[in-house]
């Protein structure tokens, strides 16, 4: 017999993980397969421990509830559950968010009986009790706006119940070693400041590439903040549906406001977009890598850069070229990366590989992806969830896990934090090492043919 297939999309599952943490969902019950009956539900779902009920209606609402207690048959009784909640996912909407409605009366969070089906809050959300019909009303156990929960459409097209298995919150020991001391921060800063690239290149140039809104400009601002001693906002950063960066910019980082430029430049440009004619073009990136694109060039998604473009640098030197590429990816969106965008990223990687330029991945927004990292950045290499995201992005882009550096940009903070600085500095040091590997090739070439 073929396995019963889940209706959950990657995007929906990703959003649910924001509520459940790092867990595994195992499908127990599917109404269209097992039947929309109370008996079928209890046969499949009783005594299974924590469960997540996911309902689907015709307008496209995905909603349901979670309980950490086991459903069971027999005489009716309430399950006391302080962790229970209702939810709704607004997929496809302009402001796509997940709504969480915690119980306000834990003693009556869930009702279970052999004739009641799935019953959160004694009628706040009652499923399967009457086939595909849903009973739902805000009450003193769960308070919500029905239009927000399910759009007031009370007929199911599908209902699924999953067993929720915790895969552990934090690893007992970090899987990548990193010291979080003030001394380590100072040592890393000195390593960045005292780095000396190949003598023909006064400063290495690192190109930041990534989809719109992943935090490329914010990464520069954050690194700049470390050396300025306070949170800065030199590069335009923020949240928008299209790229806020439209020019090619090579940002210098100074050792303090009046200090000398550090031996690393972060080059920023338009974000990647999945549709043709939007965002940075693959061939434009090749011209940047080779050093043909002038500083402050205004990109036009509908007209590719070429040798006839005003400002084209005909004979760029090694110092004008890119010495390392950093793909910047959002930890919250790895699993929902669109096929078209993934295809574009692979095409770009192929072009970069042909030029022999080394590549790393900066995994941003790790605090938004994992609440444990949000609580304490030093949990980054103990978080099972972030570890899974690091492996996922490596697999999607075809880049070794050793080349994936999780970082947290400064966003809501107004003062510097040691642990955030250390992650940012560790990423810069990795860029310097990779750029050295690339520049060593030119050193070998000179020794052979001088």
The whole-angstrom separation of Cα 190 and Cα 182 is 12
Nearest residue to 208 via CA among 385, 329, 368: 329
pLDDT of residue 448: 39
Q: Model confidence at 11, in pLDDT bands (50, 70, 90)?
A: confident
pLDDT of residue 245: 60
Strands (E), 20-106: 23-30, 51-57, 62-67, 77-79, 85-89, 98-102
Instruction: Out of 114-118, 243-247, 280-284, pick the least confident.
Output: 243-247
Mean pLDDT of 361-375: 90
Domain boundaries, the chain: 10-166, 182-449
Whether residue 167 is predicted with pLDDT greater than 80 in this model: the reply is: no
Whether residue 201 is predicted with pLDDT greater than 80 in this model: the reply is: yes
Helix axes 418-449, 216-228, angle to 10 degrees: 100
DSSP code of 133? E
Which residues 6+ apart lie within 8 Å of 429 measured at CB?
Answer: 188, 191, 192
What are the CA-CA distances from residue 118 to residues 4, 66, 87, 142 (Å)? 20, 11, 14, 15
292: its two tokens: 């043909």
Q: Model confidence at 236, in pLDDT bands (50, 70, 90)?
A: low
Nearest residue to 12 via CA among 87, 109, 106: 87
The order of strands in the sheet holding 131-135 is 77-79, 110-112, 118-120, 125-128, 131-135
Whether residue 266 is predicted with pLDDT greater than 90 in this model: the reply is: yes
Backbone angles phi, psi at 86, to 5 degrees: -100, 160
Burial class (CB in 10 A: 0-12, 13-18, 19+), 179: exposed
The whole-angstrom separation of Cα 306 and Cα 255 is 36
DSSP code of 251? E
Whether residue 14 is predicted with pLDDT greater than 80 in this model: the reply is: no
Instruction: Out of 258-262, 265-269, 420-424, pick the least confident.
Output: 258-262
Q: Model confidence at 237, in pLDDT bands (50, 70, 90)?
A: low
The whole-angstrom separation of Cα 354 and Cα 345 is 14
As a whole number, the mean pLDDT across the chain is 89
Whether residue 279 is predicted with pLDDT greater than 80 in this model: the reply is: no
Answering whether pTM is above 0.85, one says no
pLDDT of residue 384: 84
Mean pLDDT of 95-116: 88
pLDDT of residue 449: 36
Nearest residue to 360 via CA among 428, 272, 442, 285: 428
Question: Checking DSSP bridges between strand 204-209 and strand 324-330, what pairing results, if any?
Answer: parallel
Q: Model confidence at 1, in pLDDT bands (50, 70, 90)?
A: very low
What CATH number labels 182-449? 3.40.50.300
Whether residue 239 is predicted with pLDDT greater than 80 in this model: the reply is: no
Which residues 6+ apart lie within 8 Å of 448 measured at CB?
Answer: none
Q: Report whether 288 contacts 269 (CB < 8 A).
A: yes
107: its two tokens: 């003693």
Instruction: Out of 95-109, 199-213, 269-283, pick the least confident.
Output: 269-283
pLDDT of residue 82: 93
Return the number of other C-beta atoms located less than 10 Å from residue 445's C-beta: 10
Per-residue model confidence as pLDDT tens digits over 386-433 = 998 899 899 989 999 999 999 999 988 999 999 999 999 999 999 999
Q: Model confidence at 91, in pLDDT bands (50, 70, 90)?
A: low
The whole-angstrom separation of Cα 274 and Cα 270 is 13
Nearest residue to 21 via CA among 215, 145, 166, 127: 166
Q: Report whether 122 contacts 137 (CB < 8 A).
A: no
pLDDT of residue 240: 47
157: its two tokens: 């097209």
């Amino acid at each position: 017999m073929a396995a019963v297939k889940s209706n959950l999309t990657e995007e929906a599952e990703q959003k649910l993980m924001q509520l459940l943490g790092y867990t595994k969902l195992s499908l127990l019950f599917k109404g269209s397969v097992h039947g929309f009956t109370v008996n079928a539900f209890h046969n499949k779902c009783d005594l299974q421990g924590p469960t997540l009920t996911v309902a689907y209606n015709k307008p496209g609402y995905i909603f349901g509830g979670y309980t950490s207690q086991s459903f069971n048959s027999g005489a009716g009784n309430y399950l006391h559950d302080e962790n229970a909640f209702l939810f709704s996912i607004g997929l496809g909407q302009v402001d796509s968010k997940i709504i969480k409605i915690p119980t306000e009366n834990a003693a009556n969070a869930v009702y279970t009986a052999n004739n009641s089906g799935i019953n959160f809050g004694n009628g706040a959300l009652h499923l399967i009790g009457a086939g595909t019909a849903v009973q739902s009303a805000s009450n003193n156990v769960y308070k919500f706006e029905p239009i927000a929960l399910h759009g007031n459409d009370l007929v199911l097209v599908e209902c699924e119940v999953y067993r929720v298995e915790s895969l552990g919150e934090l690893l007992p020991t970090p899987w990548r070693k990193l010291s979080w001391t003030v001394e380590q921060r100072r040592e890393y800063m000195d390593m960045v400041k005292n780095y000396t690239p190949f003598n023909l290149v006064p400063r290495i140039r690192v190109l930041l590439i990534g989809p719109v809104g992943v935090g490329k400009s914010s990464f520069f601002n954050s690194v700049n903040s470390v050396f300025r001693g306070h949170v800065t906002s030199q590069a335009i950063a923020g949240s928008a549906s299209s790229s806020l960066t439209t020019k090619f910019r090579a940002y210098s980082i100074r050792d303090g406001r009046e200090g000398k430029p550090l031996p690393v430049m972060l080059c920023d440009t338009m974000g990647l977009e999945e549709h043709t004619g939007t965002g940075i073009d693959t061939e434009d990136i090749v011209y940047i890598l080779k050093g043909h694109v002038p500083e402050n060039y205004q990109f036009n998604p509908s007209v590719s850069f070429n040798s006839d473009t005003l400002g084209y640098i005909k004979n760029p030197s090694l110092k004008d070229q890119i010495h390392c590429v950093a793909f910047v990816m959002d930890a919250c969106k790895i699993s929902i990366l669109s096929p078209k965008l993934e295809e574009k990223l692979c095409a770009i990687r192929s072009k970069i590989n042909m030029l022999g330029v080394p590549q790393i991945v900066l995994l941003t927004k790790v605090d938004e992806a994992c609440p444990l990292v949000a609580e304490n950045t030093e949990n980054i290499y103990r978080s099972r969830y972030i570890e899974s995201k690091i492996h996922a992005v490596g697999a999607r882009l075809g880049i070794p896990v050793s080349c994936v550096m999780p970082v947290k940009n400064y966003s809501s903070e107004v003062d510097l934090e040691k642990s955030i600085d250390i992650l940012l500095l560790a990423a810069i040091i990795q860029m310097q090492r990779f750029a050295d590997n690339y520049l060593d090739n030119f050193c070998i070439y000179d020794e052979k043919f001088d």
